[in-house]
Structure 1
Amino acid sequence: MLSRRWLTGASFVALASVLAATPAWSQAVQLETVVVQGEGGAGNGTGTSAVEGYVADETRTGSKTDTPIEEIPQAVSVLGREEIDDRGAQKVDEALRYTAGVFTQPFGADSDTNWIYIRGFDATQTGTYQDGLQLQSYAFGAYFIDSFLLERIETLKGPASAIYGSSNPGGIVNYVSKRPNGETFKTIEAGIDTNGTGYVGFDAGGSFSEAVDYRLVGRLFGGNGYTDFEEQFRGVISPSITWSPDAATSLTVLANYTHMDLTHSGGTFLPYVGTVVDAPYGKISRDANFTEPDIDDYDRQQASIGYEFAHTFDNNWTFRQNARIGVASIEEAYLYPNGYADLAAGELARVNFSHDTDINSQLIDNQIEGAVKTGELDHTLLGGFEYKRFNIDQIQSSALFGTTTPISAFDPIYGVPQPSGPVSYINQDLTQQQVGFYAQDQIRFGGGWLATLNGRYDHVWTETENRPNFYGLTEDAERDSGEWTGRAGLAYEFENGIVPYASVASFFNPVIGTTGDGALFKPETGEQYEVGVKYKPTSFDGLFTVALFDLTRQNVPTTDPTNIFAQVQTGEIRSRGIELEGKVNLNDNWRLTAAFTTMDLEVTKDTDATIVGNQPFLIPETQASAFVDYTFTQGALTGLSLGGGVRFVGSSYADRANTLKVPDVTLADARIGYTKDNWSADVTVSNLFDEKFVSGCQGELVCSYGEGRKALFKISSTW
């Protein structure tokens, strides 16, 4: 059974008939012709089409309209398919390792989750989107999107609530799906890495008729991982079809099915002593896995279907409606370390954990877009109504404290019977619904001035039904709240391609959880101030961004001083910093990308006065990277590509008191490829010199090793 709950409660709310009507006030102004671009075709023509090389021209992520990246009044990074492939990335978080302002894989190479932090804040659960619709998650209920299915990975940095409603304060990542492009092609790709993980993928597109295009993408992925006992299987298939009965109308249907079955990796949930610093017996092996292989299991079944509809009326106003239904069922059981049971003897304590989680979501976003001219001002107007519903039915369980057997950190023995199995401590059905109304005005005036104004109102309802668990019954709770958010940006576009800009934006992010008296948390709120310069050269294909930001996150849950087992919302964290990023297609041979980020992350309010002024743990304040790829186009070496990159990840703290530090690390990556006719072969290597390092610590008992050297060989053919 795919999920116990396919759809519960209300389904989609459609406003097409209302929004499609021509606004009455538009009769009083002069309409300007709108050129509506189709979604097909190669090149950088729209915010969803393929990116040529490393430099994208337009994005939809920053405004929900096809807008040149340099005109968005916030920093935006776009990874196209070529750049993803040149890195040999098999997951989204691997692909984002060279993106300014983004920190990924703090818990190592986690095979079932893409861990992403933007400007210091966790975007994993509330900051991921697919085709502009949120992939909301909570606890262990999340959607996993295979990177092979994606045409682009786009990152909007800083608050996005004025466009998307509730979301992570540091920014969002939008996955842009592969979709029909009007071309007929077939691609098959196969690869295997040095850990023993292999895959075969296919990507085929074509046309059934002049009005109907299709695309079918899929992959089978599996094998061993780099740690002991680690195994994984992932199968995905994603069909899509576009119907365009005339030049003014299009309907694209996108579907996905994903199945995952794996044994967890090791190398994480390890103590600071034994990873960052020596234990009495030295360092714990990064290959070690302290689960129980006979108990360990992870199973995911996931499906979604959605559509993107667009119609342009005779008055050149365009109505769009994007919708998606998603379901997932995840069952998981494993043992993981929890500090030392006996440090002198080198014995690790363990937690015996399991959960059974079902999630479902329904989303619909209605938009109407058009252009008007008022005097000397040229407006691109966007108005919309969005509805989101997320439901999670979860049971989380753990063996009683002290009943799980310990294990040696240096000479582990597996298969020891566990005295007792997990018992439930959460048995819950939770639903969150959100309705949002928004408006946007992109204004051109004065020969080069660009102003962007956004406003949005959202109302959120959260209800929890808490069923009996091992420890008794927790009372049900519910809360509803409304929030206004906004963004205002101003830029000037010089003829030489330089675009200085400034913006201010606010955000809100509903927090699921309760205070000590059982009341649901209120949403986190805050604002960001950003100034920067974007440069789109006129002499070559490139894009450069410099951004300075000051971001404050309020209503952060922190420990209740009267009850250490409860939380209150009096915390505040500030993130200030600078990001530099450049992407260049210098010519047919050279492609380059480089990034630098440095932040000042600071706890500015907390119930524990001793940590005010400290840096939050886990997140490095400084990162830098550069990657270059060269392709020979003449002579005997024609078709040969050579590439390499360097990544610097700065030091971070392992504890809130800032007494334990995780050292910085510099990593190298490399690539060699060859293309002839319709065949290509590549070898990519990450962590080329096999550096042994700790990727991050979320407290002194939760440290994780970064992945060792991994070489991937892949071969593909297109015809």
Structure 2
Amino acid sequence: MVSTLLTSMNHPDFAARAPSLHPIAAAAFLTCLSALSATPALASDADTPASEAAITLPAVHVTASPEGALGLSLPSTSGSRTGIATLDLPASLDHVNSDTWQERGDSRMADIIGRTVGMTPLSATSYNSLSFSTRGFTGTNSVGIAEDGVRLGVASSTTPYPANSWGYERVEVLRGPASIVYGSGTVGATANVVRKQPTRETVREVLLGAGSHGSAKLGLGMGGALSETLSYRVDAYGHYTNGEHDMSRASGGKLMSTLRWQPTAALRVELLADVSDEKPARYFGTPTLNGAIVPELLGRNFNTDDSTIRIKDKRVRARAQYQINDELSVSNELYHFKADRYWRNIEAYRYNPAAQTITRSDYIELTHDLEQAGNRLESKLKAGAHQLVVGWEVSRAKFGYASSGFDYSTTMPVNATYHGWDNTSAMIPRFTTAATTHDFYAEDAWTLSERWLLLAGIRRDLTDFNRNDLIGTGSFGKNLGGTAWRLGLTHKLNAQTSLYGQVSQGHDPVTNVLTLNLANRDYKLTTARQIEVGMKQQFGQGLGEWTAAAYRIEKKDIITRDPNNSLLSVQGGKQHSQGLELSTVLRLSPSWRLEGNYAFVDAKYDQLIEAGGADRSGNRPSNVARNTANLWTHYTTHSSIGRWQASLGARAVGSRFADNANTAVSGGYTVWDAALSWRPQPGSTYRLTVRNLGDKLYTYSAVSNARASQAYPGEGRRLDLTAEFTF
């Protein structure tokens, strides 16, 4: 397995495409190799004396993980509903806990997920939306977001929740087709955000923060017992910033609450209620030329000064779990989500350097009224060597959409004053949609022997969709169906080292299901198949962990143009991706810890024709970087006045294209971050974080089309000071 990975890394084409990332990639890779070399050679069972086996066996039970660990010894709650350990899971799963992201000074969920292997955020740093690129696939139609395993319906590519990390204990990212666990729209990966749970012990947490651009934040968390059978958890959070660009002020807050009733060890009932209210920055990037940011326009905001964004969410859930006996348990989860969203912005810009003008288009004034209710009933059975899960989930999502006309544009001098909403089109209700989905799934983790585990699963999704066009004749109904499956095999070389392989199939919609229209009424779900092999290992008696994965994903039925009529959109396009991913956590000494990951992806369109008959076959999809890497090193020391920790990290992303024509190029970048924390006593931590130490100008994500050529620049240098208390 290792020789195969080394062969892939040493391929001439691979090396030629990764020069800008060699320092970080090499550090991550060499750390993984050092871990492997630290593993003693394995003797066969027949060659191992019984006395040695008796001595060795107790040491293989890892009861603690290193700080910042990959979570290999933890149950795989996000990768499989069977609950097997991540080390045994025949799939690639990343794990980041709250201690790790606090050490790094991260609080935006986009940053936390974006530091996991192979994940590149696409949404603006000033705008709280969760859109990513991974394994060659991009956007909310291919990379899903879930909270405690439940996904909210996506409308118009908008996934703004959860925006920040307060109230959550960890994030787990399942890479590759995840439809077997999460349903449609998860071919690239799914990030599952797990919230903090009620406890019997009293917990109090306070976060105070202030930083650059007039930013401030406050987080409060508390939990404990209310009686012999009742416990609770409440988290509140608020933030504010003036932003680093014109009109990029942002603010928001949320309240999360959980009440748990546990009258017996076998029965547990929970009620959850959350509300959030966000006013993100009204900044949609800066114009570019051939994909490059125009420095003299940086900092300007070409939106109207009376623009606004408002996002409100309400969430209620009820969960019950009953352990009937040692082998059988039943659980049920009932939920209701509601989101109200309003935008009024000018979002597309094109720069004419010769005339020194800006053409502004996409005058967008619209509302989203999204509501979703659902229920998931699940049963788990342990029968000998089998851990079986059978479930049925039903959900109904309703979406209402109102907007003004978008076909409006203005051309103004670069130095003009951009104020006043000058689109006179009235905002009117356009359509409503409703989608009722039934999901049936089953999984079986079959322990064939002490060294072999077979994981098999299948899921069938059935959606009944209806659209009611309020201003035209576009009303219609449609049924969508998709079948996902996974077959994986894990072989344990020993209790700390496993090899795995899997084949799986998932599916994505061609567009968000809730916004289907006449133009895409006849389309079915796209399908993708993946083959993946990998290795996972813990070593040094829990002092380190590392993983490696190699994969190939082939996706078909993407939207393309009819070869005989380029005006006609049809299904039949294809794309594929293949790559290698490495991640590691290594404690070099009691004082030094290293965390790193590296991903290489080769993604191409096998068949794609765009408007006008342009053939994009062989091109790389937009906003997909061949190379990404993350590296963190932490040094901890103790003195008479407390515990000190200094951290230095880097995030590297290779060059990308802003269009499928591969003509507009966004250059690659490496950005360094640093953090210094002081813990004078247990329960009190003071932390200074510096983001983008070198104040580097770089492109976070970009777009290039007929209406717009613009980019979201990454954040400049930013300082944050926080005080964290637990008592």
- TM-score, structure 2 as length reference: 0.85
Counterpart CA distance in 2 for 1:261 and 1:137 is: 19
* Aligned pair partner of 2:90 in 51, 73, 96: 73
Query: Per the alignment, do residues 640 and 517 of structure 1 end up closer, same or farther by CA in structure 2, a change over 3 Å counting?
Result: closer
Tell me the equivalent position of 2:675. Answer: 671
Tell me the equivalent position of 1:54. Answer: 69
- The letter for the 1-side match of 2:311 is R
Query: Per the alignment, do residues 187 and 289 of structure 1 end up closer, same or farther by CA in structure 2, a change over 3 Å counting?
Result: same
**2:103 is paired with a residue of what secondary structure?**
helix
Alpha-carbon offset, residue 441 of structure 1: 0.9
- The letter for the 2-side match of 1:54 is A
Counterpart CA distance in 2 for 1:330 and 1:460 is: 25
Query: Per the alignment, do residues 262 and 539 of structure 1 end up closer, same or farther by CA in structure 2, a change over 3 Å counting?
Result: closer
Tell me the equivalent position of 1:683. Answer: 688
Are the counterparts in 2 of residues 616 and 656 from structure 1 also a CA contact under 8 Å?
yes
**1:83 is paired with a residue of what secondary structure?**
helix
Q: Are residue 509 (structure 1) and residue 508 (structure 2) matched?
A: yes
Tell me the equivalent position of 1:498. Answer: 497
Alpha-carbon offset, residue 457 of structure 1: 1.6
Residue by residue over 1:248-297, the C-alpha shift from the partner in whole angstroms, topping out at 9 and shown as x without a partner, is 111122221001224412534x2335x6165xxxx34332211111x211
Query: Per the alignment, do residues 263 and 643 of structure 1 end up closer, same or farther by CA in structure 2, a change over 3 Å counting?
Result: closer
Query: Per the alignment, do residues 605 and 564 of structure 1 end up closer, same or farther by CA in structure 2, a change over 3 Å counting?
Result: closer
**2:263 is paired with a residue of what secondary structure?**
strand
- The letter for the 2-side match of 1:114 is L
* Aligned pair partner of 1:529 in 504, 528, 531: 531
Q: Are residue 698 (structure 1) and residue 678 (structure 2) matched?
A: no
Tell me the equivalent position of 1:172. Answer: 190
**1:148 is paired with a residue of what secondary structure?**
coil
Which range is displaced more, 123-132 or 73-82? 123-132
Are the counterparts in 2 of residues 556 and 571 from structure 1 also a CA contact under 8 Å?
yes
Structure-to-structure mapping, 1:181-192, within 5 angstroms: 181-192=199-210
Q: Flag the structure with more relative contact order, 1 or 2, with Cα contacts below 8 A and sequence separation at least 6.
A: 2
Query: Per the alignment, do residues 463 and 53 of structure 1 end up closer, same or farther by CA in structure 2, a change over 3 Å counting?
Result: same
Counterpart CA distance in 1 for 2:326 and 2:667 is: 60
Are the counterparts in 1 of residues 217 and 237 from structure 2 also a CA contact under 8 Å?
yes
Structure-to-structure mapping, 1:276-295, within 5 angstroms: 276=292, 283-293=295-305, 295=306
- The letter for the 2-side match of 1:716 is E
Counterpart CA distance in 1 for 2:70 and 2:281 is: 38
Tell me the equivalent position of 2:34. Answer: none
Are the counterparts in 2 of residues 496 and 537 from structure 1 also a CA contact under 8 Å?
no
- The letter for the 1-side match of 2:481 is G
Which range is displaced more, 336-345 or 168-177? 336-345
- The letter for the 2-side match of 1:133 is V
Q: Percent of pairs identical after alignment?
A: 22
Alpha-carbon offset, residue 559 of structure 1: 4.1
Are the counterparts in 2 of residues 55 and 541 from structure 1 also a CA contact under 8 Å?
no
* Aligned pair partner of 2:658 in 654, 658, 675: 654
- The letter for the 1-side match of 2:443 is Q
Alpha-carbon offset, residue 566 of structure 1: 6.0
Which range is displaced more, 77-86 or 701-710? 701-710
**2:299 is paired with a residue of what secondary structure?**
coil
In structure 2, list runs of 5 or more residues that go unmatched.
Answer: 1-61
Alpha-carbon offset, residue 87 of structure 1: 2.0
Residue by residue over 1:498-526, the C-alpha shift from the partner in whole angstroms, topping out at 9 and shown as x without a partner, is 10100000012233366876634211111
**2:261 is paired with a residue of what secondary structure?**
strand
Tell me the equivalent position of 1:8. Answer: none
Tell me the equivalent position of 2:340. Answer: 329
Are the counterparts in 1 of residues 168 and 196 from structure 2 also a CA contact under 8 Å?
yes
Counterpart CA distance in 2 for 1:663 and 1:382 is: 46
Q: Are residue 103 (structure 1) and residue 105 (structure 2) matched?
A: no
Counterpart CA distance in 2 for 1:310 and 1:681 is: 40
Counterpart CA distance in 2 for 1:663 and 1:364 is: 46
Are the counterparts in 1 of residues 441 and 458 from structure 2 also a CA contact under 8 Å?
yes
Q: Are residue 712 (structure 1) and residue 727 (structure 2) matched?
A: no
Tell me the equivalent position of 1:34. Answer: none
Tell me the equivalent position of 1:557. Answer: 559
How many residues are aligned here? Answer: 652
Q: Are residue 114 (structure 1) and residue 119 (structure 2) matched?
A: no
Tell me the equivalent position of 1:398. Answer: 405
Counterpart CA distance in 1 for 2:145 and 2:86 is: 19
Are the counterparts in 1 of residues 435 and 466 from structure 2 also a CA contact under 8 Å?
yes
- TM-score, structure 1 as length reference: 0.86
Root-mean-square deviation over aligned CA pairs? 2.5
**1:202 is paired with a residue of what secondary structure?**
strand
**2:100 is paired with a residue of what secondary structure?**
helix
Are the counterparts in 1 of residues 317 and 333 from structure 2 also a CA contact under 8 Å?
yes
Query: Per the alignment, do residues 657 and 180 of structure 1 end up closer, same or farther by CA in structure 2, a change over 3 Å counting?
Result: same
Q: Which has the higher helix share?
A: 2
Residue by residue over 1:62-106, the C-alpha shift from the partner in whole angstroms, topping out at 9 and shown as x without a partner, is 0023321111111100110011112222211111232112111x3
Counterpart CA distance in 2 for 1:322 and 1:517 is: 36
Alpha-carbon offset, residue 140 of structure 1: 6.0
- The letter for the 1-side match of 2:297 is S
Alpha-carbon offset, residue 108 of structure 1: 3.0
Are the counterparts in 1 of residues 133 and 623 from structure 2 also a CA contact under 8 Å?
no
In structure 1, list runs of 5 or more residues that go unmatched.
Answer: 1-43
Residue by residue over 1:219-246, the C-alpha shift from the partner in whole angstroms, topping out at 9 and shown as x without a partner, is 1111211111211111100111111111
Counterpart CA distance in 1 for 2:516 and 2:368 is: 20
Are the counterparts in 2 of residues 358 and 392 from structure 1 also a CA contact under 8 Å?
yes
Counterpart CA distance in 1 for 2:90 and 2:720 is: 38
Residue by residue over 1:164-188, the C-alpha shift from the partner in whole angstroms, topping out at 9 and shown as x without a partner, is 2223211101011112132212111
Tell me the equivalent position of 2:150. Answer: 133
Tell me the equivalent position of 1:636. Answer: 640
Are the counterparts in 1 of residues 304 and 421 from structure 2 also a CA contact under 8 Å?
no
Counterpart CA distance in 2 for 1:639 and 1:74 is: 38
Counterpart CA distance in 1 for 2:138 and 2:115 is: 17
Alpha-carbon offset, residue 143 of structure 1: 4.7
Q: Are residue 84 (structure 1) and residue 92 (structure 2) matched?
A: no
Query: Per the alignment, do residues 290 and 342 of structure 1 end up closer, same or farther by CA in structure 2, a change over 3 Å counting?
Result: same
Counterpart CA distance in 2 for 1:120 and 1:140 is: 18
Which range is displaced more, 592-601 or 422-431? 422-431
- The letter for the 1-side match of 2:618 is G
Alpha-carbon offset, residue 562 of structure 1: 7.2
Residue by residue over 1:593-650, the C-alpha shift from the partner in whole angstroms, topping out at 9 and shown as x without a partner, is 2110000110011235631011011111111111122222x33364111001111110
Query: Per the alignment, do residues 155 and 214 of structure 1 end up closer, same or farther by CA in structure 2, a change over 3 Å counting?
Result: same
Q: Are residue 452 (structure 1) and residue 455 (structure 2) matched?
A: yes
Structure-to-structure mapping, 1:18-29, within 5 angstroms: none
Counterpart CA distance in 2 for 1:536 and 1:660 is: 43
Residue by residue over 1:341-399, the C-alpha shift from the partner in whole angstroms, topping out at 9 and shown as x without a partner, is 674224333432111111011122211112112xxxx1111111111222210113335
**2:494 is paired with a residue of what secondary structure?**
coil
- The letter for the 1-side match of 2:101 is I
Alpha-carbon offset, residue 497 of structure 1: 1.5
Counterpart CA distance in 2 for 1:181 and 1:514 is: 44
Counterpart CA distance in 2 for 1:655 and 1:298 is: 27
Query: Per the alignment, do residues 363 and 488 of structure 1 end up closer, same or farther by CA in structure 2, a change over 3 Å counting?
Result: same
Query: Per the alignment, do residues 140 and 115 of structure 1 end up closer, same or farther by CA in structure 2, a change over 3 Å counting?
Result: closer
Tell me the equivalent position of 1:271. Answer: 288
Counterpart CA distance in 1 for 2:81 and 2:309 is: 36
Are the counterparts in 2 of residues 540 and 585 from structure 1 also a CA contact under 8 Å?
no
Structure-to-structure mapping, 1:384-423, within 5 angstroms: 384-402=391-409, 404=410, 406-409=411-414, 411-415=415-419, 417-423=420-426
Tell me the equivalent position of 2:55. Answer: none
Are the counterparts in 1 of residues 123 and 130 from structure 2 also a CA contact under 8 Å?
no
Are the counterparts in 2 of residues 515 and 568 from structure 1 also a CA contact under 8 Å?
no
**1:147 is paired with a residue of what secondary structure?**
coil
